[in-house]
Every structure is written in structure tokens, then in C-alpha cells.
């Protein structure tokens, strides 16, 4: 199935663009999609620490942080949007 990944802040440079369409197996999880996106050592090092997400990484599925769902095990559906970015702040 196809999902869409969206990147923000310096992750646009890191992942080579604002968005990327990704083909994953049926039943794939958010973690599977992230593994597929982190297809270079640099990308992997920025996002993962061992098998876990680094603490400053935010991943949202259709606008909901995956921590509120099932974390990296959150199942994906066709057409989902996965947003990946570092924690930002503002006023």
C-alpha cells in the first residue's frame, strides 16, 4: 500500500524534500515505514537510537502523535500521512 511521508524543518534537507510517497507491505506499522524512510546511515542516526525513536523526534499519523496511538507498532492504512520532524517551539 502507499502512504505519504511529510517532513518539516531541517528534516526536509535530511530526507531530500517536503514529502515522499512510500510503498509498504499491507499490515505495516509506523515503525516499518520509518525504517524504510531511514535508508541512509545519516537518516537512521538522526531518528533512531537503537530500536527506539530519539526523544526529540515527533511522529504524527494523520495529525495524531503516535505516542497517543500504539507508538512504533501503530498500524498504517492506505493513504495515511506520516509526519516526521524534530520538536519545535514557538510563541
| Binder among 33, 66, 76, 82 for another protein (CB under 8 A) | 66
Strands 19-23 and 2-7, by their bridges, are antiparallel
The least distance separating another protein from the CB of residue 47, rounded to whole angstroms, comes to: 12
Nearest to 58 by CA among 88, 37, 85: 85
Site string for another protein, 3-42 (x = CB under 8 A): ---x-xxx-x-----x------------------------
7: exposed, middle or buried (Cβ count in 10 Å: 0-12, 13-18, 19+): buried
The least distance separating another protein from the CB of residue 86, rounded to whole angstroms, comes to: 5
| Binder among 29, 43, 58, 75 for another protein (CB under 8 A) | 58
Q: Please give the order of strands across the beta sheet that includes 19-23.
A: 19-23, 2-7, 81-86, 57-61, 64-65
Q: Which residues contact another protein by CB under 8 A?
A: 6, 8-10, 12, 18, 55-56, 58-60, 62-68, 83, 85-91
Amino acid at each position: 500500500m502507499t502512504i505519504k511521508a511529510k517532513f518539516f524543518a531541517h528534516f526536509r534537507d535530511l530526507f531530500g524534500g517536503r514529502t515522499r510517497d512510500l510503498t509498504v507491505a499491507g499490515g505495516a506499522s509506523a515503525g516499518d515505514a520509518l525504517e524504510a524512510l531511514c535508508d541512509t546511515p545519516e537518516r537512521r542516526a538522526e531518528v533512531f537510537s537503537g530500536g527506539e525513536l530519539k526523544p526529540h523526534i515527533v511522529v504524527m499519523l494523520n495529525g495524531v502523535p503516535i505516542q497517543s496511538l500504539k507508538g512504533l507498532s501503530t498500524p498504517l492504512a492506505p493513504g495515511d500521512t506520516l509526519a516526521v520532524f524534530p520538536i519545535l517551539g514557538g510563541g
